[in-house]
Amino acid sequence: MSDQPRVEIYTKTDCPYCEKATDLFDSKGIEYETYNVTDDDDRFEEMVERANGRKTAPEVFIDDELIGGWDDTSALNETGELDEKLGIAEDNDDGIVEHRKLVIAGTGIAGLTAAIYAGRSNNEPLVIEGDEPGGQLTLTTDVANYPGFPEGIGGPELVNNMKEQATQFGAELKNGIIESVDDSSRPFRVEMKDGDVYTADAVIAASGASARTLGIPGEDELMGYGLSTCATCDGAFFRGEDMLVVGGGDAAMEEATFLTKFADTVYIAHRREEFRAEDYWVDRVHEKVEDGEIEIMKNTELTEIHGSQEDGVDHVTLVENDKGHPTDRLDDPGTEEFDFDVGAVFFAIGHTPNTDYLEDTGVETDDDGYLKTNGGDGGNQTETDVSGIFGAGDVVDYHYQQAVTAAGMGSKAALDADEYLDDLERADSSGEEVEPAAADD
């Protein structure tokens, strides 16, 4: 056994965030012990006690110190503190690690598809994992609409296959989060949260979107203690409870359907009359309604979650108005406020595009923060306002937000970047000056 500290990870079966945690330690070459708490009440109680009452896996410990769940572990990794705790931090004076032709932000479906194409074009991409390695699709166990898999495929399996395919073609995957991109000169400076810096001739932003929360009372206190944004990760912890899913899109329908495996009854609170979800998912939910496993609360919004970290969620406060959007009509006599008993709450209310690291560049975003790209017909559809920075997947596409559309855009971005890099090489060898686009052009 080496001198490394003792790493212990409480896991669960079918827990994407547990896999992310073990993958992270694997990528660092760190040994660890795992304890699966599924169907093991003693281990579960032990985990809850050691994790100060938290009932969510994974829970990570280093030398008996509680690190926390995936979010906490990933946050420590971002700052480099995790490596310090593990005794593997490296000194790096100027921070510049190396120059790459192409850096890709994100290992979701868009980033990995871009990596496969860029690898095949000999652009040897460096692909940064971000705080959600594998992206959103790792949160689902059932991808039924990705072409080529008539029996469906699990999200983590699809992502792992893509990672393998990308590395086979020469892509390098790296844990870490991009803090900022500097486009004031060429090559771009890509700064990581842990202080490392890469220079790059081109960048593909495939950084996707993150789960939204409501900002209501009780949310911060109870996140991880009965409130979750990932039903597949945490649903099984609340077996036998009534559960509330908030949302009206595909993710809400899928999560509600999944939770019927564990819940006494699943309630869906949606602020409007009509769901936004595809007919396929709405039909599946209605089947469950017929079976008495799901109840739908239309024109209803969640305003407060009550409970404690010791005992979890106790009940919630909801408002209802049959004209829809009841929180916009709190003074309307038709708005009714009521308390409702549930043991767990799952948010499935959409996503915010991850673009903070591009804030100081000339890359334009729309009012909701989604990256703007050229679009249209012909080549260069994925280029942003900054020449050499391309965008792909959910960080650009606020409308389709599907794995297959993200993959399609990822391939386009890699092809556009390849053309850009070829032009750059030609200009370099002919001695022409390559104009950097000014940040605020």
**Contact residues: ligand FAD, CB under 6 A:** 105-111, 128-133, 135-137, 139-140, 143, 145, 177-178, 206-209, 251, 254, 354, 357, 393-394, 401-404, 406
* Closest by CA position to 362, among listed 439, 301, 422: 439
CA–CA dist 49, 304 (Å, integer):
27
Output the smallest distance, CB 355 to ligand FAD, in A.
8
Task: Decide: helix, strand or coil at residue 318.
Answer: strand
Return the number of the residue (320 or 397) whose C-beta is nearest ligand FAD: 397
Residue 385 CA to residue 388 CA, distance in Å, equals: 9
Could you tell me the CA-to-CA distances from 323 to 161, 284, 316 in Å, in that order?
Answer: 46, 25, 21
Report the nearest approach of ligand FAD to the CB of residue 419 (Å): 21
| Total residues found in the chain within this entry | 441
Residue 9 identity? I
Provide, rounded to whole angstroms, the least separation between the CB of residue 299 and ligand FAD: 24
Quick one: 48 or 406, whose CB is closer to ligand FAD? Answer: 406
CB of 30: closest distance to ligand FAD in angstroms? Answer: 20
251/348 Cα distance (integer angstroms): 6
Tell me, yes or no, if 233 is annotated catalytic: yes
- The nearer residue to ligand FAD, 307 or 391, going by C-beta atoms, is 391
Q: How far is the CB of 422 from ligand FAD (least distance, A)?
A: 25
**Active-site annotation holder among 131, 196, 201, 230:** 230
Comparison of 24 and 177: residue with beta carbon closer to ligand FAD: 177
Helix, strand or coil, per DSSP, at residue 327? helix
Residue closer to ligand FAD by CB (options 296, 349) is 349
Which listed residue (183, 194, 233, 394) is catalytic?
Answer: 233
Name 124's Cβ contacts closer than 8 Å, sequence gap at least 6: 100, 101, 102, 118, 170, 171, 172
Nearest alpha-carbon partner for 299 in 322, 276, 316, 282:
322
Q: Count the alpha carbons within 13 Å of 181 in the hemisphere toward its beta carbon.
A: 27
Cβ-proximal residues to 370 (8 Å cutoff; 6+ apart), any chain:
353, 355, 395, 396, 397, 398
Q: What is the 8-class DSSP label of residue 169?
A: T
Are 392 and 366 in contact, with CB atoms under 8 Å apart? Answer: no
Judged by beta carbon, residue 322 or residue 359, the one nearer ligand FAD is 359
- Distance from C-alpha of 384 to C-alpha of 298, rounded to nearest angstrom: 39
Q: Which is nearer to ligand FAD, 209 or 316 (CB)?
A: 209
Q: 68, 26, 53, 111: which is closest to 354 by C-alpha?
A: 111
Give me the least distance between CB of 305 and ligand FAD, in Å please: 21
Q: What is the 8-class DSSP label of residue 371?
A: B
| 234 in active site | yes
80 versus 393: smaller Cβ distance to ligand FAD: 393
Q: What is the DSSP string of 353-396?
A: E--GGGTTSS--B-TTSPBP---SSSS-TTB-SSTTEEE-GGGT
230 is catalytic: yes
Among 56, 69, 160, which Cα is nearest to 109's?
160
Tokens of 76: 């420590």
Q: Which of 194, 196, 234, 242 is catalytic?
A: 234
Closest distance of CB 215 from ligand FAD, Å: 20
CB of 232 to ligand FAD, least distance (A): 7
At a CB cut-off of 8 Å and minimum separation 6, what does 426 contact? none
Helices (H) and strands (E) in the chain, counts: 11, 21
One-letter identity of residue 162 = M
Q: Which residues are known catalytic residues?
A: 230, 233-234
